Chain A
Amino acid sequence: MKPAAFEYLVADSIETAVAALAQAGGEAKIIAGGQSLVPMLNFRLLRPAILVDINRIPDLAYVREDGDKVRIGALARHHQLETSPVIAGHFPVLREAMTHVAHLAIRNRGTIGGSLSHADPAAELPMMAMLLDAQLRVVSPAGERSVAAHDFFQDALSVDLAEDEMVREVVLPKLPPRTGWGFAEVARRSGDFALAAVAVTLTLAADTIVQARVAITGVAPTPRRVRDAEALLVGKRVDHALAQEVIGRVRAAAEPQADLHASAGYRRHLVGVLGGRALGEAWQRARVAA
């Protein structure tokens, strides 16, 4: 199908973009990579009166270190994150996740700001934002605010963004030394949305876990952290019995839906299996991490 007609505005700055959003009073949509938005327009699931194209805003596609943080501009493309030495160096778990995001032609276009704002419940980047305790810098004509990923994802395809706001930057605090990571995903086909995926980071001191993070996607309306599994891991070493307890908590944190790709029961089973794998990988990596 073809999209319904719309007016098209090229924004040359973030200020122009959010001013246009405010003026349109909810009738405008931002277009960045368009890899989720354009299918919805083509199906006429969305019929915005105005598309505000932010692709030409200069200096919004960066990945840069800033002390104990890494700052990622909203227009950074997926393929850029996949190949960035800064990401590979500081967030190898994110680099691994990026290889699971769709296909090259889509990774060439899709942006981090777009993926987080769209918030598909089975997407990898929202899960990474949760895992890595991302802060999102959000702009409106009234000014700027910072929102934690934890508060940003509200429901499937629903985020804490007002109709005159856009994400300008994603800030990731660097991981502590001696952190290992694991990532496990199953999709029907390479590049498809996850049926389930789990990501884990474990930080060690004196060979016991001092910080644990467990994030899941594809099995609930939003990506989730499994806080009770994280609490259970702190102060311990991973062995078979502990892994089984973590797997149980990962399964319990899932709230899967059935669709034509997988039943809810299969997804709940799967997220446990993947949780065990990601935990094992993270433990092995943490034990050899500097």
Chain B
Amino acid sequence: MTARDISVTVNGTVHRHAVEPRLLLSDFLRHTLGLTGTHVGCEHGVCGACTILLDGDSARACLMFAVQADGCRIETVESLGRVGKLNALQQAFHEHHGLQCGFCTPGMLMTATDLLKKYPLATDDEIREGLSGNLCRCTGYVHIVAAIRAAKEQT
């Protein structure tokens, strides 16, 4: 099928590529751009591991085609902080042991980034409800909730 030229701003850098229409945004990020921080679990929108920000709003990168992101702004987990210079949310995950194997962490961080922006998160129940679309198969949810609570209290 005909490849199409797209221009996407990922973590502040403009990338121009020719992509096949069926290329998932998650595969574009990982394979074309080499940004392997975005993880792929279920590839049908259930696990949340591939959550990114699309024009500032959280979205599943496996439920979009790269071609649809033409002209859009995307932030992946790589945008949050760097080794030795974590952002406040990442630091809270670090301090509260909010990750075990780490596979779900990029999705948890990007989801939490959007939740913190859009909801009061007044109770832990509200945080849990906000995380219900992100699976952690180490089942370390208690620490993830504590990390987001701590990040919320800092803001």
Which residues of A are interface residues toward B (Cβ below 8 A)? 1-8, 31, 34-35, 38-39, 41-43, 51, 53, 55, 79, 102-106, 108-109, 189-191
**Besides the known contacts A104-B114, A106-B45, 19 further A-B residue pairs in the complex with CB atoms under 8 A apart:** A2-B27, A3-B22, A4-B22, A5-B20, A5-B22, A7-B1, A34-B64, A35-B45, A35-B63, A39-B63, A102-B133, A103-B48, A103-B134, A104-B58, A105-B60, A106-B60, A109-B59, A190-B128, A191-B132
- Of the candidates A2, A38, A43, the one having the most CB atoms from chain B within 10 angstroms of its own CB is A38
Q: Beta-carbon contacts of B1-44 to A below 8 Å, as 1s and 0s? A: 11010000000000000001110100100000000000000011
Residues of chain A lying within 8 A (CB to CB) of residue B63: 34-35, 38-39, 106, 109
Cα distance A7–B4 in the bound complex, in angstroms:
10
Residues of chain B lying within 8 A (CB to CB) of residue A105: 48, 51, 58-60, 111, 114, 133
Residues of chain B lying within 8 A (CB to CB) of residue A6: 1, 21-22
Main secondary structure of the interface of B (DSSP, over half): mixed
Min distance, Cβ A34 to any Cβ of chain B, angstroms: 6
Residues of chain B lying within 8 A (CB to CB) of residue A4: 22
Min distance, Cβ B29 to any Cβ of chain A, angstroms: 15
Residues of chain A lying within 8 A (CB to CB) of residue B134: 103
Which chain A residue has the least Cβ–Cβ distance from B115?
A104
The answer to whether B133 touches A106 (Cβ under 8 A) is: yes
The answer to whether B64 touches A38 (Cβ under 8 A) is: yes
Residues of chain B lying within 8 A (CB to CB) of residue A7: 1-2, 21
The answer to whether B133 touches A104 (Cβ under 8 A) is: yes
* Interface bracket on B: 35 or more
| Interface residue B145 (Cβ < 8 Å from any Cβ of A) | no
Cα distance A112–B129 in the bound complex, in angstroms:
22
6 smallest CB-CB distances across A and B, nearest first, come from A103-B133, A8-B21, A39-B44, A190-B132, A105-B58, A108-B57
Residues of chain A lying within 8 A (CB to CB) of residue B58: 104-105, 108
The answer to whether A191 touches B45 (Cβ under 8 A) is: no
| Interface residue B67 (Cβ < 8 Å from any Cβ of A) | yes
Residues of chain A lying within 8 A (CB to CB) of residue B109: none
Residues of chain A lying within 8 A (CB to CB) of residue B24: 2-3, 42
Min distance, Cβ B71 to any Cβ of chain A, angstroms: 9
Cα distance A79–B65 in the bound complex, in angstroms:
21
Cα distance A38–B46 in the bound complex, in angstroms:
12
Min distance, Cβ B90 to any Cβ of chain A, angstroms: 19
Residues of chain A lying within 8 A (CB to CB) of residue B1: 5-8
Which chain A residue has the least Cβ–Cβ distance from B125?
A190
The answer to whether A8 touches B133 (Cβ under 8 A) is: no
The answer to whether A1 touches B68 (Cβ under 8 A) is: no
**Given contacts A34-B64, A42-B62, A190-B132, A104 and B111 within 8 Å (CB-CB):** yes
Cα distance A108–B64 in the bound complex, in angstroms:
12
